[in-house]
Structure 1
C-alpha cells in the first residue's frame, strides 16, 4: 500500500488500484442487501467476501483459479452493496476490471462464454436471426409507421433484445409505439439494424466487444436523423445513459439525448400531446 498519495502512484492488484478495495472494513452492512448472499449464505459470495478474495490474490495468499473466477462472476451487479457501504467500496467498478482480466485469461465461466458468443454471432441474447427483432409487430393492426422514417425522425426507439424477441414482453413496444403515434411523434425503429446494447458483454468482462455493439447502435440511431433516443429496458437505458459515454470517444454521442420511456411520456404530457381519460 502506498504511503504518499501525492507523489507515489497507487499500487495495483491486477487492474485495480489498491484504494478501491482496501476501503472495505468488513463491517458486513452489505450482507443484508446482497441478493446472492441472502440466497446462498456463503461468505465468499458476499460483497465483502469477494473483496477479501481479490485482496488475497493480490497479496499472493490465494492463486487465481476457475473456482476463484466463478465466485467473482457470481454477482448480479445490482449495486445494492455500493449504496449501503459506509466506506464507499465500489464493488461494481472492481468487478468490471477484474472480470476483464479473467476474460482475457480464459477464465470466464463456460455458460457466460456461450452467451457472449451468441450475442456476437446473432446480435442478440436469444441467438435468433436478428431480423426477427420485429416479431412483436406481427399481431398489430398495421405495421409501425416508425419503420418508414426516411432518415427524418424526431425520436429513435431502441427496443432492446427482450422486448424484441421474447413474446411475454411484446406488449411493451406495442404499447409505446401506439402512444407515440397517437401523440404525433415522428419516431424511428431500426428493426434488424439494432443489436444488443452490449451490457451482458460488459458484465462478462468483454469490453471491446461491448464497444463494438455500442458503436454499431449509435450509428444505426444516427442514420434515422433522430436527436433523441428512447428505451424502456432498464439495462439498455443504463448502458446508453451511463456506459456508452465512458466507452465511446468524445463526440460520438454528440447530438443524442438519451431518455427512458417515462421521461418522454412526461414530456408529451407537459406538451399537451397526450390526452388522458377523465
Structure 2
C-alpha cells in the first residue's frame, strides 16, 4: 500500500515531514533491503529506531496493513545480524536476560530506588547538584518518579480476591513488571474496582514479564520464551478473562497469537490466551460498574490521554471515556489529538530523547488547552510521560496525572 493515509497519523512524520520517518517510507526501506536495493543499512536501522511503534498507522490504513508486526520482525532481523559492541552486549544481556524476566530482580532494583528516596540520599543528591551532570530531561524524570512503596511481606503463591456481593465473573489478573513494583497501588486499585464490579480475581504467581520490551527491541526469542511461560501460568486458572491495566502489556499479550502462530505446539494455546485478554475498563463497562455505583469527585476539569497500544491494538477508546463521563464532579474536556502518542513508547524517551521531548512538548500544548487539572491515562509509561510533561511546563502544583484506576477508586471511596 502506498496511498499515504498513514502519514498524518504518524507522530514522527508529523514532527519531521520526512518520508523516511513515516510508515510508508519505513515499509519501502524494508522492501528495498529485502530486494537487495540497499546495501548500507545504517539509515534503515536509524529510521526503525526513531519509530515509536505506536501503531497509529494501523487504524488509519484502509487495507489493514499490520505495520507493528513488520516493524518488530525487521528489528529482530537487525539484532540477529548486526555486530554488537561489548558494552551493548552487556547492557542488553543485563536488561533482557537479567532483569525483566526475573521479578525478584525487578523488586530488588525498585527497592534500591525506594532506599534512595527514603534514606535522604535523594535530597542530598539534589542539594549537591549531582543531577545537573545529567541531561535536562533525565533530571526532570528523576523528579517525577513515583514514591516506591515499602515491601509488605512475602508474596503469596497465588492470591485470590473474592467479589463483593454476587460473583459475575472469574478473572485472572496480569500484574506486570512496572505495575507490580513502581505502581503497586494502581494494581491494588484495579483489584478493588474489579471486586466491586462483581469479579473474583486470581493473580497467578508464576506469571512473568509480558515480553513487550523484548519484542519492541528486536529480542524476539526472549519474548517467545516469556510468552510461553505466561500462557502456562494462566492455563492453570479457569478464568473467564485475563485482565490488564497497562495498555502496552495488554497489546503485547493480545499479540501472543501472532508471536506463536508458526509454532504448531503453541499456536492454539496462544490464540486461546489472547482471546481472553481484556482491559480493566472494558470489563468494568461490560459489568455495568459505572451504572451500579455512585462515582463522585471534587469539581475539576479532567482530560484523557489514550494509551496508543490500548487504542490501536486492543481497540479500546470509548470505555475509559464512559467511566470518566459517569463521574460526578469531573468536567470532561476532550484533548485535541488525544489518540496521538505522548512520546513515551516504552523506553523511547531514554533511547530517543530529542524526538520524545519534541512530541511531549506538543502534547502538553494540547493538554493545557483543555485547562484540565487532572490528566488521566491507562498505561504506566504514558503516566510517567505526562508527569514529565507537567514538570517541564512548571505545572506541578496545578495539574496532576493519574492512572484511571486510581481516579475511579478515589471517586468511589470519597
In the superposition, the TM-score normalised over structure 1's length comes to 0.69
Deviation at 1:118, TM superposition (A): 1.0
- Tell me which residue corresponds to 2:21: 45
Distance of 2:196 and 2:148 partners within structure 1: 17
Of the structure 1 ranges 52-61 and 32-41, higher mean CA displacement relative to structure 2 is found in 52-61
Q: Does structure 2 retain, via aligned residues, the 8 Å contact 1:69–1:108?
A: no
Distance of 2:212 and 2:240 partners within structure 1: 22
Greater percentage in strand: 2
1:122 maps to 2:138: no
Q: Does structure 2 retain, via aligned residues, the 8 Å contact 1:133–1:165?
A: no
In the superposition, the TM-score normalised over structure 2's length comes to 0.49
1:209 maps to 2:222: yes
Partner SS, residue 149 of structure 1: strand
Q: Does structure 1 retain, via aligned residues, the 8 Å contact 2:99–2:106?
A: yes
Q: 1:224 to 1:30 in 2, by over 3 A?
A: closer
Counterparts in 2 of 1:174-193, with a 5 A limit? 174-183=188-197, 185-191=199-205, 193=206
Distance of 1:140 and 1:269 partners within structure 2: 34
Q: Does structure 2 retain, via aligned residues, the 8 Å contact 1:137–1:144?
A: no
Partner SS, residue 243 of structure 2: strand
Q: Does structure 1 retain, via aligned residues, the 8 Å contact 2:148–2:181?
A: no
Deviation at 1:88, TM superposition (A): 5.1
Partner SS, residue 160 of structure 2: coil
Deviation at 1:95, TM superposition (A): 2.1
- Tell me which residue corresponds to 1:17: none
Q: Does structure 2 retain, via aligned residues, the 8 Å contact 1:146–1:188?
A: no
1:235 maps to 2:251: no
Distance of 1:95 and 1:173 partners within structure 2: 31
Q: Does structure 2 retain, via aligned residues, the 8 Å contact 1:159–1:231?
A: yes
Deviation at 1:145, TM superposition (A): 9.1
Deviation at 1:267, TM superposition (A): 3.7
Q: 1:64 to 1:262 in 2, by over 3 A?
A: same
- Tell me which residue corresponds to 2:160: 149
Deviation at 1:87, TM superposition (A): 5.6
Which of 255, 274, 278 is the equivalent residue of 1:259? 278
Deviation at 1:140, TM superposition (A): 10
Distance of 2:37 and 2:281 partners within structure 1: 49
Deviation at 1:214, TM superposition (A): 0.9
- Residue by residue over 1:96-142, the C-alpha shift from the partner in whole angstroms, topping out at 9 and shown as x without a partner, is 332222121026898799457513222359x9714569989957999
Of the structure 1 ranges 86-95 and 226-235, higher mean CA displacement relative to structure 2 is found in 86-95
Q: Does structure 2 retain, via aligned residues, the 8 Å contact 1:36–1:74?
A: yes
Q: Does structure 1 retain, via aligned residues, the 8 Å contact 2:172–2:243?
A: yes
- Tell me which residue corresponds to 1:245: 257
- Tell me which residue corresponds to 1:275: 293
Distance of 1:36 and 1:245 partners within structure 2: 28
Partner SS, residue 160 of structure 1: coil
